[in-house]
Structure 1
Amino acid sequence: MLAAIASATRHVHLEVYAFEREGVGTHFLKALTDAAQRGVKVKVIVDGWGSIGESRALADTLRMAGIELRIHNPLTSVLLMGRFWRNHRKILLVDDSVAFLGGINIGDHYAAEEGRPGWADLALELRGDICAQLGARLNAGASALTAGPVRILLSGFGGGWRLRARYLAALKQARREVVLAHAYFLPDRGFVRALTRAARRGVEVHLLLAGRSDVPFARAATMRLYRTLLRGGVRIHEWTATTLHAKAAVVDGQRLLVGSFNLDPLSLVNLETLVEVEDAEVAGQATRWVRRHLGGAKPVVLEDCARSGLQRWLLDVVGLAVARFAERVATFIGSRRMRRRG
């Protein structure tokens, strides 16, 4: 990404949920300001909630360098105007010729430290006509772009159902194997049924999920689904070495889905991205990434769910409360957005 910015001759568009100024963020700030100083048009969009505490200093640094900065829904908009929806995209587009999309923010969490791996996440580097299409549609709301084996879906606010539908279509078409790595795994009942149906018709379904999370109680909400999934033939593995932040799936070693889109209620109402690639080589790279993490993950079996009655009850209560809270927040955000459009 830094090399792409350094090679820019016309324009750079960076859209990211969280941008930390320290550590690797200093390298990005330098690369962006250097580009602006040599005449490149640079635009940066950060989310006001994801970059809370950083946005004002970012604005000062970038605007002094002649860079256009947009803070999506700063805290004042949330508090004074009730704008709770988020821009959760992670996109870098350079000269409409190279693009990076995935789940990675700008921050040191992803870097290895003293022999310890960084957060587990994925991004794709794209080149060619699909990048020119992306440049033309960045500000056009919901879009579906296709070039050869690559398809990019950009959701508008409340448009995450289309991205969910691509996951469901991939599950329905799976014949041999599905490996899915998701950080914030709070799918609805229909999605859980799609996973267990695939497993029951003979598809090997592996879930790589977070054994630790940066979001309080998120794991408890996910764990309440374990018994249903395991009884349905789905294999679950928890990544505990670091924080899992990936949002990806590989189907039959041929199809890769990756982006910023989480399988949770909030991603249904946020601005999100999903890239779908029908290519055995690219899917193979992603499969190897997932399998490497599966090899270092803890398998979860039904016996692990057989806690004492009180423990199981507390876990289910907490998990259900978190899941219902996320659903209600998403519904509230969606309803407010619809009223504003009206």
Structure 2
Amino acid sequence: MRTEAAFVPQPMTGVPASLLPVAPGGVEECFLLDGGTEAYPRMLEAIARAREHIHLEVYTFEREGVGARFLDALVAAARRGVRVKVMVDGWGSVTTSRYLTQTLRAAGAKVRVFNPLTSLCLGRSWRNHRKILLVDDEVAFLGGINIGDAYAAHGDDPGWADLALELRGDICRQLGAKLTAGASFLRSGPVSVFLSGLGGGHRLRKQYLAAIDGAKEEVLLAHAYFLPDTGFVRALTRAARRGVKVVLLLAGRSDVIFARAATMRLYGTFLRAGVHIHEWTASTLHAKAAVVDGQHLLVGSFNLDPLSLVNLETLVEVREPGVAAQAALWLDKHVAQARHVVLDQCARSPLQRWLLDVVGLAVARFAERFASFIGRRRQRR
């Protein structure tokens, strides 16, 4: 069972939140960060301290607010001689990619816009959905957080609910060597990093399934865009029926139209199997994370939906009780503040149930077929 220790991330100059033993004579450091509120200051400080090179890969990079601070930091790094490489997605950063490119290149940085909208004419529809900041092969930030003001708290607004990991140690050196190598699997001690490449995210999905199938006590799972396939639904319901406590923290409101309908059509199936469902409504849920048996953490950019199987994604596994306990506390806190969904609430009128099933199924099937189409196009290249 997990321990009830307070989650207090430490500053970069302080004592690490967790020291993970690896080979004799070395350690891996792993810090769990709560949204942009905790991640952005540490990321900006890492950029300011960069000596040799910076690699930033992000789906959405906003121009204003915190995005302007990141842009200024990257420009300053490039001008003092640091090799700066930035990759943004052509769809996720559609309104800002031209300005970012012009500004960064003028400072001497390298910039790539992954599959800009014009590439749709050539059939390249897959996206780069990764969120990676790597500095000097010494410190890396991976998770679900884009660069934008929505991901940080502002007064009483908690910001989008999301998580990231700050990693230090040999895993960062490995990451630097594999960033352009397509699909990669990296491991250093209890920390593993999966990068999906041309083959898509099927291996990342398998990590989730293996963790759920091996669960003995508890599965805590928070996912923003939850459109699991039949095999994944069965894995969760099997776990619940064999006595594992399965808790889903899902989006009570979404930034993607009709996404909730596709998720809600599965509520009855889950609830009848004994799965606990809670909807986060205080802000937009954007996390993609799971904790199994208080020992095993999965977190990254990888959504449990068909499109993440064909996009470029990341997933980090940490098999260390201290870090997993911190993530479980984050999940418990959000579950406690979320709306509990019970089976009676799913018993709407026949017309309402029919409309929900039709809309939800249509969204799910469209996502599956679109992902299948993208996958076939990628395999031909």
Q: TM-score, normalised by structure 1?
A: 0.98
Amino acid corresponding to residue 93 of structure 2 in structure 1: S
> Could you tell me which of 210, 225, 242 is aligned with 2:283?
242
Measured in 1, the distance between the counterparts of 2:154 and 2:48 equals 26
CA drift at 1:55? 0.6
Amino acid corresponding to residue 263 of structure 1 in structure 2: L
> Could you tell me which of 304, 310, 329 is aligned with 1:269?
310
Q: Is the Cα–Cα contact under 8 Å of residues 6 and 35 in structure 1 kept in the other structure?
A: yes
1:103 lines up with 2:117 in the alignment: no
> Could you tell me which of 17, 41, 44 is aligned with 2:59?
17
Q: Give the structure 1 partner of residue 251 of structure 2.
A: 210
Q: Give the structure 2 partner of residue 35 of structure 1.
A: 77
Q: Give the structure 2 partner of residue 292 of structure 1.
A: 333
CA drift at 1:53? 1.1
CA drift at 1:338? 1.3
CA drift at 1:247? 0.2
Measured in 2, the distance between the counterparts of 1:114 and 1:179 equals 28
1:68 lines up with 2:106 in the alignment: no
Measured in 2, the distance between the counterparts of 1:339 and 1:135 equals 28
CA drift at 1:116? 1.4
Amino acid corresponding to residue 95 of structure 2 in structure 1: G
Q: Is the Cα–Cα contact under 8 Å of residues 183 and 199 in structure 2 kept in the other structure?
A: no
Provide the secondary structure at the position in 2 that maps to 1:256. Answer: strand
Measured in 2, the distance between the counterparts of 1:208 and 1:291 equals 9
Q: How does 1:1-342 map to 2 (within 5 A)?
A: 1-78=43-120, 80-340=121-381
Q: Is the Cα–Cα contact under 8 Å of residues 85 and 157 in structure 1 kept in the other structure?
A: no
Amino acid corresponding to residue 3 of structure 1 in structure 2: E
Amino acid corresponding to residue 60 of structure 1 in structure 2: Q
- Number of residue pairs aligned between Structure 1 and Structure 2: 339
Residues 130-162 of structure 1: per-residue CA shift (max 9 Å, x gap): 000000000000000000000000011342110
Q: Give the structure 1 partner of residue 7 of structure 2.
A: none
Measured in 2, the distance between the counterparts of 1:171 and 1:198 equals 7
CA drift at 1:114? 3.1
Q: Give the structure 1 partner of residue 31 of structure 2.
A: none
Amino acid corresponding to residue 270 of structure 1 in structure 2: N
Structure 1 segments (4+ residues) deviating >2 Å = none
Q: Where does structure 1 lack aligned partners over 5 or more consecutive residues?
A: none
Residues 47-89 of structure 1: per-residue CA shift (max 9 Å, x gap): 00010111111111111111100000011111x2121010000
Residues 176-213 of structure 1: per-residue CA shift (max 9 Å, x gap): 11100000000001100000111111110000000000
Provide the secondary structure at the position in 1 that maps to 2:279. Answer: strand
Pairwise CA RMSD of aligned residues? 0.7
Provide the secondary structure at the position in 2 that maps to 1:321. Answer: helix
Residues 207-249 of structure 1: per-residue CA shift (max 9 Å, x gap): 0000000000000000000000111111000001100000000
Q: Where does structure 2 lack aligned partners over 5 or more consecutive residues?
A: 1-42
